Chains A and B, each alone.
Chain A
Amino acid sequence: MPEQKTILVVEDDKAIAEVYEMKLQFEGFNVIIANNGLEALSTIKETVPDLILLDIIMPKMNGFDFLSQLKKDPANQNIKVIIMSNLGQDIDRKRGEELGAVEYIVKSDSNIDEILEKITKHLGG
């Protein structure tokens, strides 16, 4: 059995976080949920995930701030980050790209299988 990959989901919306959890666990991933950026930063100190699904608009610490904090630590350079946001403006996409996200997905425009395909692609590559 291949090594189980860990995915950190940073999402404040419970209903969405639940879907991630169910779907990803169903697909055989180890899923950790963090409700905001701050929580996610402390989680990372304990477990380093293989991939992070990152929401942007969150209380306490938003996705962009979390991402810039994360990338400050050279140890975290290899963690793949997919931004999962409902902000569709180019300016946001550009910012995410600049901060080192590998993908920027508008949640409502994508179906869950597509997201899974992308996760698999980035983890496999």
Chain B
Amino acid sequence: MRIQTRIHWLLLFAFTITICFGIVWVLQFLQVSTSLHTYVIDELSTAEEVLRENQVSVSIASAQEATEQMRHSLKKTMTVTTVLLGAIFLFLSLLFFELYRSVIVPIVRMRKDYEIIGRGDLSHRVEYHSEDEIGDLAKEMNALTEHLSESQQEVKKEQQKLIVSLQESEEQKMFLEDVRKAMINLLEDIEEEKTNAIRHAQKSEVILKSMDEGVCVVDLSGKIQFMNSAGKTILGREKQKVVGKHVSRMLKAVQGEKKVSASKLPIMLCMKKGKALKGPSDLLFTSKSGSRVAVESVASPLTIDQKVEGAVLMFRDVTRAREVDRTKSEFISIVSHQLRTPLTALRWHNEMILAGNLGEISEKQNTSFKKMYGSILRMVALVNAMLNVARIEAGRIEIEPVPTDLARVAEGVLGKYETQIKDKSLEVATDIDVSIGEINVDPCLIEEVFSNLVSNAIKYSLEKGGVSLSLKSDGDMVKGKISDTGLGIPKEQQDKVFTKFFRGENILSEDTDGTGLGLYIVKAIIESSGGKIWFESEENNGTTFWFTLPKSGMMKRSGDRKIVPLETSWGHSHQKKQS
């Protein structure tokens, strides 16, 4: 049972006892005083009667008075006692009230406060400021709470710190996890790279092995570090260990009949010069068995981080190719000689007859011989054109660029065909940009281009037609245009114009002249110079050819043959003859 309740009960009990006792006491007192009074009065009355019978005259008044006094004194005693009891009651009440006010109430309040604190609100304080023990207790308790609060704050701070450090360690953990993952990825990448590198190396090895070209790698001192099987085959050293041996022992070479020392070989020279070197075209390697192998070779320094660390030589056995080349060359030579010799005899005999050196001939004979002569010249032109084609295709046309005035070449070509232009009463218009000036081209080749295009324009023009030639500057190119108002090229044949032996169907009936090789040659010349050629044509409405040539000119190429200039059977020779 709670103290408060106990005190309540105790208080109630005390009150009840006091009140009961008081009531009993008062009733007892009243009874006693009344009984006494009655007794006294009775006794007195009895006494009076006795006396009267005894004739004793006695007055009871004084006795009554004494009783009254006694009663009065009893009353007085009772009052004092009652007051005393009331005072005791009051005192007790006050005592209890004080006890209640100063102990019970604060305890109850404090209990509530502690309940709040107990629930966790450590900022809560007991609002009790009394200078007594309870007040002290409250103060102590407040101090305790304060201390608790501080401790809790500290604990919280520590906790916070702990949380922060926990977070940090969590972050660190995550970071470490990331690092771990990154490391794993890196390792995987490295593994992959390694696999790739191995595969790459294997691939390179397979490529090197499967190459037809010989590949030889040397270090700075000239020691062979690698040679592929093709290289060994070319040198006849399939069964020999070449790696680690010096290049002078494995790559024996001659040029002409002279031995080439190892230090003069491109593979060694290129390291000194620090640039790729092409082996001389007459370089022959001597195989292990002593046979000579014609090779085409290129040596390049192996530069790693701008430092030459060795060299690689690529070489190809061209013995067979050279033989084929020689055969081809011989064939061209034979064709040129064997065909030209009878043609020469035919031509000259014909010329003598036509010139009247062998006596007078009739008009009919003259016409016939002229036709024959035309055919002979056409055959000469055909042989020359075929030779040109063969040379172009063999890539052995010599290109000798010199500063050339294209305008002069063009005008020269037009001059060459003056007679034909007059014969057909053609109107020739030229539009030449003189600012083009001189360009580094091979004049023979350029003349060939103009000759073919101009002669075609004239040949396929109708009487009184028009031929125009223009040369313009077009950026870093020169653009040439040659057009006629002639027969044109049938649409369905236009895609074949630049093919070998092309002849327009519409011109065959008009003209049996021509080789069908001119435009093929022109295209080959233009394109090998870095230019372009194209045309527009409409049947019976003329043709326009355009070509471009870079202003930078042609690249020099050494070859053993020059192109045979176009010698129009119906042009040049007739003209000369007539002059």
Contacts and interface: CB of A to CB of B under 8 A. Distances in A.
Contact of A109 (B333, B345, B358, B384): B384
Contacts of A106: 340, 564
Contacts of A109: 380, 384, 564, 567
A88 B564 contact: yes
B576 interface: yes
Which of the four size classes fits the interface of chain B? 20 to 34
A3 interface: no
Contact of B348 (A16, A26, A90, A91): A16
Given A109-B380, A111-B573, A86 B337 contact: yes
Contacts of A87: 333, 336-337
B131 interface: no
A15 interface: yes
A86 B341 contact: yes
B336 A86 contact: yes
Of B345, B561, B567, most buried by chain A (CB within 10 Å of CB) is: B345
A117 B562 CA distance: 25
Main secondary structure of the interface of A (DSSP, over half): helix
Contacts of A26: 352, 357
B352 A86 contact: no
Contact of A90 (B333, B384, B560): B560
Given A57-B337, A86-B336, A13 B352 contact: no
Contacts of A57: 337
Interface in B552-579: 560-562, 564, 567, 573, 576-577
Contacts, number: 79
Interface in A9-49: 13, 15-16, 19, 22-23, 26
Given A87-B333, A88-B387, A108 B564 contact: no
B453 interface: no
Contacts of B201: none
Of A13, A57, A109, A112, most buried by chain B (CB within 10 Å of CB) is: A109
A90 B357 CA distance: 34
A111 B560 contact: no
Interface in A74-116: 85-91, 106-109, 111-114
B344 A108 contact: yes
A114 B348 CA distance: 11
What 6 A-B pairs have minimum CB-CB distances, sorted nearest first?
Answer: A86-B340, A15-B345, A108-B340, A107-B344, A19-B348, A112-B348
Interface of A: 13, 15-16, 19, 22-23, 26, 57, 85-91, 106-109, 111-114
